[in-house]
Amino acid sequence: MASRLIVIGGVAAGMSAAAKARRTDRDLEIIAYEKGSFISYAACGMPYWLAGDIPDHEKLIVRSPEQMRKQGIQVQVRHEVTAIEADTRTVTVKDLENENTFTQGYDRLVLGTGARPAWPPLGSTGLPGVFGLRSLESGLALQQFIRENSPQKAVIVGGGYIAIEMAETFRRLGLDATMMVRSGKILRSTLDDDMRELVEAELARYGVRVITGTLTSLEGDDQVVAAASAHERVPCDLVLMGMGARPNVELAKAAGATLGPTGAIATDAYMRTNLPDVYAAGDCCEVLNLVTGKPAYIPLGSTANKQGRVAGENAAGGQARFGSVVGTMVVRCFNLVVASTGLTAARASAAGFKVQETMVRAKDISHYFPGASDIHVKLVVDGSRDRLLGGQIVGSRGVAKRIDVLATALYNRMSITELRQLDLSYAPPFAPVWDPILVAANVAAKE
């Protein structure tokens, strides 16, 4: 009899795992359970779809359950796995359509249960007009609310990259937008203060107000009318919780899976948990940060897809490995592109490195070429060992390609001496003869 693989979760990690397992072992029986109504969609595209760049949410869906079935993967949507019994290798599943509960045995199991938006411990967060943005269902609910209620003022609680993307979306939809940020620092873990100022100025230029404060109450009876911190009450008719993501680990924890220091599921490089033949991938897991050598929680779609693939291959008998991450991100903020990789100077100092910071402003393409504009590059270097620890780039063009150069340099533990010697592409419409990365590396080498 063929072995059976059960996958829990139907988005990036779960569906990557199922598809790779199918390609690795043609005979494997594969069943995936997803408690929501949609599978295999690009959550990352939702801010742009909500803004109207992408006309239809269906465009975000990569594969339907029917298409997965044609590949020999049975996908059961609206089915929630409520328990895992590792000793008997069974899962308990609840069919959310009819409330029926049944058990299903497995030989291998992949956990791709993902994450959920962080939610403040307030009683009033269930008020109409208060949203989180995670699943496609949550995106559809937000879109429906905007269409039916034409809100005028949005408060975005939090200052991470999704909060910034949604501030832009709300402004483009004609709403006032206020970001309420506990520390007052947007992109706190990915930007240093000097680079953050550039992004704050862009938000201000486009009418987004950033206020410092912890959300203490949401006011309203049958609809949210204000969000308040200890210092300020902001009238609004729409609130978006953008306070980051928390890993969905309760199911795994109850089954005996070990959680790491970050609170997410701990795995080895083969994406194995401590439970026999149980793998985990994506936003429910922690990762190894290559720069610090320590576990970190950096939930990103890029990582979820890779980890899912490794978990799926191994669950089907393979020996693939997932290495580590350097924490590379890029986000659009109106006319700026903001990117970061590795450690900020603040985080590098906190991690015990002797930090040297270099920030340069250069032109993104040859200065005489029409449209040349400023690009800011910051390098964070281990002052005692000449090793690159991180980089941040803010500009309007060529930011993503350059942060990927720095991410590659970090991955290869390059020194500043080596970074200076990189043979980067040059032609006037694309880059100056001295690429801003090389300019920054040259300055860092002299400091």
Task: List the catalytic residues.
Answer: 44
The token duo for 52 is 């109207």
- Residue 96 binds to ligand FAD (criterion: CB under 6 A): no
Count CB atoms within 10 A of the CB of residue 420: 17
Question: Of 188-217, which residues contact ligand FAD (CB under 6 A)?
Answer: none
In order, the DSSP letters of 290-304 are: TTTTEEE----HHHH
CA distances in angstroms from 138 to 43, 45, 181, listed in the order given: 10, 13, 22
The side-by-side arrangement of strands in the sheet containing 233-235 is 217-219, 226-228, 233-235
Q: Which is nearer to ligand FAD, 43 or 439 (CB)?
A: 43
Q: What is the DSSP string of 109-151?
A: EEE---EEE---S-GGGGSTTEEE--SHHHHHHHHHHHHHH--
Q: What is the size of the binding site for ligand FAD (CB under 6 A)?
A: 34
- Residues sharing a CB contact under 8 Å with residue 195, sequence separation 6 or more, in sequence order: 338, 359, 376, 378, 392, 394
Selected from 5, 12, 28, 339, the binder of ligand FAD by CB under 6 A is 12
Residue 447: alpha-carbon gap to chain centroid: 34
13 is a site residue for ligand FAD (CB under 6 A): yes
Report how far Cα 137 is from the mean position of its chain's Cα atoms: 18
Q: Report the residue number, 115 or 238, with the smaller CB distance to ligand FAD.
A: 115
The DSSP letter of residue 59 is G
Of positions 300, 333, 362, 416, contacts ligand FAD by CB under 6 A = 300
- Interface stretch with ligand FAD, choices 32-40, 141-149, 263-271, 387-395 (CB under 6 A): 32-40
In the complex, minimum distance from the CB of residue 156 to ligand FAD, in angstroms, rounded to a whole number: 12
Report how many helices (DSSP H) and strands (DSSP E) the chain contains, helices first: 12, 25
Binding of ligand FAD by 334 (CB under 6 A):
no
Find where tokens 């779609």 sit.
301
At 355, which helix (H) or strand (E)?
A: strand 355-363
**Interface with ligand FAD includes 47 (CB under 6 A)?**
yes
Q: C-beta of 281: minimal distance to ligand FAD in Å?
A: 7
244 contacts ligand FAD (rule: CB under 6 A):
no
Q: What count of other Cβ atoms lies within 10 Å of the Cβ of residue 249? A: 21
Contact string (CB under 6 A) for ligand FAD, positions 52-91, x = contact: ----------------------------xx----------
User: Is residue 14 a contact residue for ligand FAD (CB under 6 A)?
Assistant: yes
User: Which of 7, 11, 210, 265: binder of ligand FAD (CB under 6 A)?
Assistant: 11
| One of 65, 114, 327, 432 touching ligand FAD (CB under 6 A) | 114
Q: How far apart are CA 68 and CA 77, in angstroms?
A: 12
Among 73, 110, 133, 167, which residue interacts with ligand FAD (rule: CB under 6 A)? 133
Separation of alpha carbons 183 and 179, rounded Å: 11
**Given the rule CB under 6 A, which of 53-61, 112-120, 317-325, 438-446 is the region that contacts ligand FAD?**
112-120
Q: Among 7, 9, 142, 326, which residue sits at the site for ligand FAD (rule: CB under 6 A)? A: 9
Check binding of 252 to ligand FAD (CB under 6 A): no
**The binder of ligand FAD chosen from 20, 21, 30, 36 (CB under 6 A):** 36
Helices (H), 9-104: 12-24, 46-51, 65-70
Q: Kindly tell me which of 15 and 431 has the beta carbon lying closer to ligand FAD.
A: 15
Spatial separation of the C-alpha atoms in residues 62 and 11, rounded to whole Å: 10
Kindly tell me which of 36 and 158 has the beta carbon lying closer to ligand FAD.
36
Q: Does residue number 312 form part of the binding site for ligand FAD (CB under 6 A)?
A: no
Binding pattern to ligand FAD, positions 257-296, x when CB under 6 A? Answer: -------------------------xx-------------
Residue 69: other Cβ atoms inside 10 A:
11
By CB under 6 A, tell whether 151 contacts ligand FAD. no
DSSP H or E stretch at residue 313: helix 301-315
Least CB distance to ligand FAD at residue 120 (A)? 18
Residue 327 makes contact with ligand FAD by CB under 6 A: no
Among 107-115, 122-130, 252-260, 289-297, which window interacts with ligand FAD (CB under 6 A)? 107-115
- Residue 395 contacts ligand FAD per CB under 6 A: no
Q: Is 162 in the site for ligand FAD (CB under 6 A)?
A: yes
Q: Which two tokens stand for residue 139?
A: 């995106």
In angstroms, the CA 273 to CA 261 distance is 14
**Binder among 18, 49, 112, 160 for ligand FAD (CB under 6 A):** 112
Q: What is the DSSP string of 372-432?
A: --EEEEEEEEETTTTEEEEEEEEESSSHHHHHHHHHHHHHTT-BHHHHTT-----BTTTB-
> Under the rule (CB under 6 A), what is the footprint of ligand FAD?
8-14, 33-36, 43-44, 46-47, 80-81, 112-115, 133-135, 162, 248, 251, 282-283, 299-302, 304
